[in-house]
Each structure stands twice: as structure tokens, then as C-alpha cells.
Amino acid sequence: MIINQDQGTTDSVNASKTLRGYGALRFGRTSEHGSDYFLTLCLQRPQTGLTSDHLLGKIFAEINRLEDSAYWAMRTAVVMPDHVHLLTTLGKETGLSATLRLFKGRLTAAFRGYGPRWQPSFYDHHLRSTDEILPTFQYIFLNPYKAGLIGADKKWPGYFCGKDDWIWFKSLTADAQPFPEWLQ
């Protein structure tokens, strides 16, 4: 059975109509160990700065620390100036909300003195085993290019792809850069 961590049940659709704001984001949220989740974590607006060398290093260090501790297996990620996209396989240590609370909490301490603050919640999409994974990889990979933050002839420093996934995904790129038709 899938457990809805924040509402206690998964069968009440009517309750989602009464929830507002961040409560609506949490309704229906589930955690399935071993499942893939596409996640977006945003800074409070209008803050930016996640791509500074100092913070980028802290973010990747925390991604690796949680992976080493079996909270998740990071498949691919991109750090943008004001948000982070993650495609991760949830580990067995704890649920999705608790894992992201740990991730954001540890980074909050690293952000002190630099200004950025996280929005209180996060956006998540549970990918089913029958879902096509390539569109999610492409979306994450292309995010900085489509936002006009970098030219197609350069590599975005805030991009990460897990070793096993990079084996197949790299072959679909132009030497780790986007094909021009992907950007149209």
C-alpha cells in the first residue's frame, strides 16, 4: 500500500479541493522506496544565487552525502539560480518528505550569510515504472539552455547525471551539450 505521508489516506479527492497553497502541494504525496521522483525545490522569490561556486559546491556535496547514506540514488539534477530540479530514486532510509527536509535543512545552514532561503515546500511527481524517463532527463538537462543562461556550445556547471544513467544519456547528447533541435 502507498502511504500518503501528509494526509494519512489516498482516497479522498474532495479534500484536495479545499486545500490551498502549500497544503495543496502535499495532498496525495506518497513515498515508495525504490521509485523515481521528479522534484523541484525553489527559493523564496525573488532570490537567486544557487549557482554561485560556493553554494553549488554545497548543493552537490549534500546530494552526494544523501546518496552515500542511502536516502536516495540521484539519477540527474540541475541547479538553476533560483531552483533545483532532481530526478531521484528514493532509498529505504526514510520517506520523501523527510529526505527533502534533511536536504533542505542541511543546506539552509550553508546558505546563512549568502541570502537564499527555500520556499517551505517542494513540487514532486512520482514516475511510474511505465513512464518514459527520457523526457524528464531532457527537461532537466535543457533547463539552463532553454532559460537562456548558457549557449548551446557550453556545458552547464550545475548539471549532474549519475554514472549509470550517464552511460546511456551521454550518447544522446552532442558531447555533453544539447543538440540544436532540442532547443527549438
Q: Mind listing the pLDDT tens digit for each residue in 68-85?
A: 999 999 999 999 999 999
Question: Is 101 domain-assigned?
Answer: yes
Domain count, the chain: 1
Question: Is 27 domain-assigned?
Answer: no
Task: Report which of 36, 44, 138 is spatially closest to residue 87, judged by C-alpha positions.
Answer: 36
Question: Is 25 domain-assigned?
Answer: no
CATH code of the domain covering residue 166: 3.30.70.1290
Question: Is 146 domain-assigned?
Answer: yes
- Starting at the edge strand found earlier in the chain, the sheet holding 123-127 runs 123-127, 36-42, 83-90, 72-79, 159-161
Percent of the chain topping pLDDT 70: 84
Residues 166/175, Cβ–Cβ less than 8 Å? no
Task: Name the residue range of residue 43's domain.
Answer: 33-183
Residue 9: pLDDT band with limits 50, 70, 90: very low
Question: Is 81 domain-assigned?
Answer: yes
Question: Is 7 domain-assigned?
Answer: no
Residue with cell 537564499: 116
For residue 118, give every residue at least 6 positions away whose Cβ sits within 8 Å of its Cβ, in sequence order, or none: 41, 42, 43, 44, 104, 107, 108
Question: Is 124 domain-assigned?
Answer: yes
Question: Is 14 domain-assigned?
Answer: no
Q: Which residues of 65-75 are buried (b: 16+ CB within 10 A; e: fewer)?
A: ebbeeebbbbb
